[in-house]
Chains A and B, each alone.
Chain A
C-alpha cells in the first residue's frame, strides 16, 4: 500500500469514525479546497496548515498589557484548531516579539509577511506600534487584526480594528454619566500622549456642544509620573461633578491610591475612566477603585453564555488567577473573524478575505454579537462597569449598537 493510499485510508477511517460519533457536521476539509485554488498568491498555506503571525510585545514596558492579547489569540487559535482549523487547515502560529520598540514592530511585520508569508497577523497594541507597522502591511498587502481601543482617525484596507475607536467609547459614556449623575462640570485628566489627547479633544467637544456641560480643567501627566498631589488639589478646588480620566500604566496606580488618600473616594467623587480594565485593576487594587466607573465594550463579569464559556476556557488555559480585560477580549475576536472571513471568501488570498469580512456578524463573541462594517471597524455596544473591591466590574449600563465612525464630523 502506498503512503498516499494509506493516508487516504486513514483520513477516510478517521472521518468515518468522527462522523459516526456525530462530532462533525458540515465542517470544511482541506480536501474540499485544494490549495492551488484557495491560495493563488503564494502565502504559507499547505493542504494541512496555514501560518498566522502573532506580533506583540512579549518583552519591554508594554509586555504588561500585551501579554493578555497574546494569550487570548493563542487560545482562539487552539480552539479553532480543535474544531478542525480553517478550511480544513490547522493554524500554525509564528510568534514575533515587538519588544515595545516601534521600529522593531515594522521589522518583524516585514519578516512575517515577506519571509514567513503568513496569511494574516494578529498584533500591535499601542497606536505607535500600529503606525510603525502599517506601511509594511500596506506595501506587502498583509492582513492585520488590531485589538486595542484607540483614537480613531485611521482606516486601512489591510487592517481590521477589533477594539473600539474613540467615538464609540467616549460619546455614549459621556451621555450616560451626564444623564445618570446629572453632571454639568467635568475635569479631564490623561497621560501625555496621542491617545488621551485625541480622546479628550473629542470629549471636550461633546461636553461643550452636545451636553451643555462645562470643562473646568484639563490636565496631562507625563507617562510614568507618580506624583499627583498638585493635580488632586486643583481638582479639589474646582469640585467637578465628574472626573473623566485616561491615565495609563503605572501612573494609574499612583493616581487612584493618592486620590483615595486625599479623601476623594467614590462616595464623594464620581469618576469615569476610559483606561482601566481588569488588567489594570490587578495593579491598582480593587479597594482603591471601588465605586468608580469604566467605559468599555467588554467586562469579564458580563453575563451571557458565550462569555461564560470564554472566561472558563481562558482560566483553564492560562491559570485561575488570569483576568480578562477589554483588549484581551478584542484580541480573542481576531482569529475568529479571520476564520469567518476565509470561509466566506472560500480563499486565503488577502484581497478576497478582506472583501469578504465586512457585513459579517459574529453572533457568539464573548461581548455579544458584533458586526464588521465597511470601514473595517466593528459595530459594538458600550458598557459602563462599576468597579467592586474584588477587582471585577458590575455592568450598570449597556448602550444600543454604536456604528463605528473613525473620522467623526465636528469633533476634529
Chain B
C-alpha cells in the first residue's frame, strides 16, 4: 500500500493517531478559556492570545531563574501554577477596569479587547524585547518513548495531553459540581433572576472572566514545550481558538471538546495525505460548509429565546 510495508503502515497509524490526539489537546487548551468567557458571558475576548503569552513568558522567566539556581528539573509544575495565577489576576483586573462596562455591547468588547491585545503586545515588547525566546525544558520532558524501534511518542506531547485532561476535568468540576459553577450557570441563563435570588452577578462575571484568562495562562505555559515565545505569539493562536469555539457552538464546553477533536483529527489526517497547506485549507472548507448547515455550531445550547 502506497509503496510501504505493512509494518511501516502500522507504525504510521500509531504515530498519526498520536499526532492527531496531540493537536486535539493543544486546540482544546487554547479554546477552553475562550469558550468559558465567550459562552458564559458573550464577551469576544480578542486578547485571549495575549493571556497565553503571559503564561508563556512566565514560564520562560522561571526557566531562567531555575537554570541559575539549578532546579530546572522541577520548575515546570510551579511555572504552570504561577502562569495560571498571573493570568488570573491580570484578567480579574481587566474585567474590573474595562470589560464590565461593555457587557451590554458585545460587539464593542471585540474592539476593546483587540485594542487591549495591542497594548499588551507592546508591553511584552518593551519588557522582554522583540526577539523570540524559549524556555529551557526539564530533561525528563525531552525526547520520546519508544515502544518499538520505529515508533516515537514525544514526551512533551504526552505531558500536554495530561495537562489538558486535568484542566478540562477541573473546568467540568467547577462548572457542574461546585456552587460557583451553579451561580455561573444561573447567571448565564437568567441574569436578572439570578440577581434577585441573591447571586452577586458582578462577582460571578469577574471570576468567570479571570478563570478563562487563567486557563489561557496554563495553555501558554504548556505551549512553551512545543513552540517559542515572543510578543506576538498570541496572535498565532487566536484564529484557531475562535475556530474551535465557533465550530463547537459557543456556549458549550462539550461542543468545544468535540470541535477541537474533530478539527484536529481532520487536519492531521488530511495533512498526511495532502500537502500541509492543503490539509489546512480543506479543514477550513469543511468547517465553513458545516457551519452553513448548522449556524449555531455543533452543539448549540438549548436556551429559550
Residues of A within 8 A of B (CB): 58-61, 63-64, 67, 192, 219-222, 224-227, 229-234, 236-237, 249-250, 252-254, 257-258, 260-264, 279-280, 282-285, 287
Contacts and interface: CB of A to CB of B under 8 A. Distances in A.
B194 interface: no
B276 A219 contact: yes
Contacts of A249: 132
A123 B132 CA distance: 21
A234 B144 contact: no
Contact of A282 (B133, B143, B150): B133
Given A233-B12, A261-B144, A284-B134, A250 B233 contact: yes
Interface residues of B, number: 54
B296 interface: no
Contact of B132 (A225, A237, A260, A282): A282
Contacts of B297: none
19 contacts: A61-B235, A67-B130, A225-B276, A226-B236, A227-B19, A227-B23, A227-B268, A229-B16, A230-B279, A233-B15, A234-B272, A253-B132, A260-B143, A263-B143, A280-B132, A282-B132, A282-B133, A283-B131, A283-B229
Interface in B201-260: 223, 225-233, 235-236
A324 to B, nearest CB: 13
A232 B268 CA distance: 11
- In order of increasing CB-CB distance, the 3 nearest A-B pairs are A229-B19, A261-B154, A283-B132
Given A222-B280, A261-B152, 13 more contacts: A67-B131, A226-B223, A230-B19, A230-B279, A231-B276, A253-B134, A254-B228, A258-B154, A258-B226, A261-B157, A282-B132, A282-B134, A285-B137
A227 B157 CA distance: 11
A284 B156 contact: no
Chain A at the B interface: mostly helix, strand, loop or mixed? helix
B4 interface: yes
A230 B276 contact: yes
B199 interface: no
Contacts of B276: 219-222, 225, 230-231
Contacts, number: 135
Contacts of B226: 226, 254, 257-258
Contacts of A252: 228
A331 to B, nearest CB: 15
Nearest to B134: A285
A253 B156 CA distance: 14
Contacts of B125: 59, 63
Contacts of A229: 15-16, 18-20, 22-23, 268
Nearest to A66: B130
Contacts of B26: 226-227
B279 A283 contact: no
